[in-house]
């Protein structure tokens, strides 16, 4: 039982990072029905910005986190305006190919400026371990989980209680009707990209703290897993992204602990296939009937 609880704790730490990433996917999809495959690379950029703030500027974790979130928010808005807005009325496949192109662009721009080598993320949180019976929880895991939960609740507050959050919900339901009601759709979409990208930047810094290493290609696999998490929970639904992220994180750690770390990725993608076959709308999603 102690081993099981230990794996759950480890899984929740990793899953909270996936949840932050999945929230960006699900918000963008909910607004403009676009799978932003460049989202994983924004997470990678956030990790490097946090690394620079800590290593070169001597800042602590929280200031580095705010700087990374701000930089990624601006980057997300820039990507939306330059790459996605001109294609808003184009076919979905055109926007999808553009997203993949932006993903590769960010990867190789980072390689150009920072080099292809793996970098060791500076230690900002003491490696202090707390024991609860037979379960060990280190201070890094506590920081990651607490920061992730705070950001998730803050996002829920913004979406449910603020004027911009109401505009986001209106645009996600019917953008044309929202425009007729006086909502600036372009500004709302840009804000959505900024919010999702800021969360991805935070996830990048937290994963640097968790694994102690970063590299320019680090966004590809977690980005896909976060997409799986968003689909698993119900893409387009914020609670679904949270549930999906935590579930995928716990599943991955359980497979690594009780089976083999070599098949953990295969299990995650198998979950995606099963969800698409059995309940395409996800755990919290509802199947919609289309009129013929």
> What are the Cα distances from residue 91, in Å, to 8, 29, 105, 163, 171?
42, 15, 21, 31, 19
Q: Which two tokens stand for residue 151?
A: 């950001």
pTM for the full model? 0.91
Q: Helices in the chain by DSSP H: which ranges?
A: 2-32, 39-55, 61-79, 92-114, 139-161, 163-173, 175-180, 185-211, 220-233, 238-258, 264-278
**2-278 in CATH: which number?**
1.10.3470
Mean pLDDT in order along the chain per 10 residues (292 residues): 84 90 88 86 95 92 94 95 89 88 94 92 82 83 89 90 92 89 92 94 92 90 88 84 90 88 87 84 68 44
Would you list the domain boundaries of the chain?
A: 2-278
CA distance 242 to 288: 22
Residue 71, number of CB atoms within 10 A of its CB: 21
Q: What is the structure's pLDDT at 291?
A: 45
């Amino acid at each position: 039982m102690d081993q099981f609880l230990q794996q759950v704790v480890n899984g929740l730490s990793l899953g909270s990072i996936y949840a932050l990433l999945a929230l960006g996917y699900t918000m963008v999809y909910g607004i403009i029905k676009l799978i932003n495959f460049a989202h994983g690379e924004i997470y990678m950029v956030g990790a490097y910005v946090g690394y620079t703030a800590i290593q070169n500027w001597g800042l602590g974790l929280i200031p580095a986190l705010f700087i990374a979130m701000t930089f990624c928010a601006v980057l997300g808005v820039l990507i939306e305006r330059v790459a996605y807005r001109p294609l808003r009325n184009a076919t979905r496949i055109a926007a999808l190919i553009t997203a993949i192109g932006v993903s590769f662009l960010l990867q190789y721009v980072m390689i150009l400026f920072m080099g292809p080598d793996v970098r060791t993320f500076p230690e900002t949180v003491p490696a202090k371990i707390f024991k609860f019976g037979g379960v060990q929880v280190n201070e890094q895991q506590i920081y990651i989980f607490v920061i992730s939960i705070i950001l998730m609740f803050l996002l829920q507050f913004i979406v449910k209680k603020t004027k911009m959050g109401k505009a986001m919900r209106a645009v996600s339901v019917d953008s044309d009707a929202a425009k007729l009601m006086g909502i600036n759709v372009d500004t709302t979409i840009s804000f959505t990209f900024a919010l999702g990208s800021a969360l991805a930047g935070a996830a990048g810094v937290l994963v640097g703290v968790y694994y102690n290493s970063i590299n320019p290609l680090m966004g590809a696999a977690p980005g896909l897993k976060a997409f799986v998490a968003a689909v698993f929970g119900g893409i387009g639904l914020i609670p679904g992204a949270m549930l999906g992220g935590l579930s995928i994180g716990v599943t991955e750690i359980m497979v690594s602990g009780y089976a083999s770390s070599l098949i953990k990725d295969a299990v995650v993608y198998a979950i995606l296939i099963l969800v698409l076959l059995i309940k395409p709308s996800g755990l919290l999603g509802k199947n919609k009937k289309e009129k013929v």
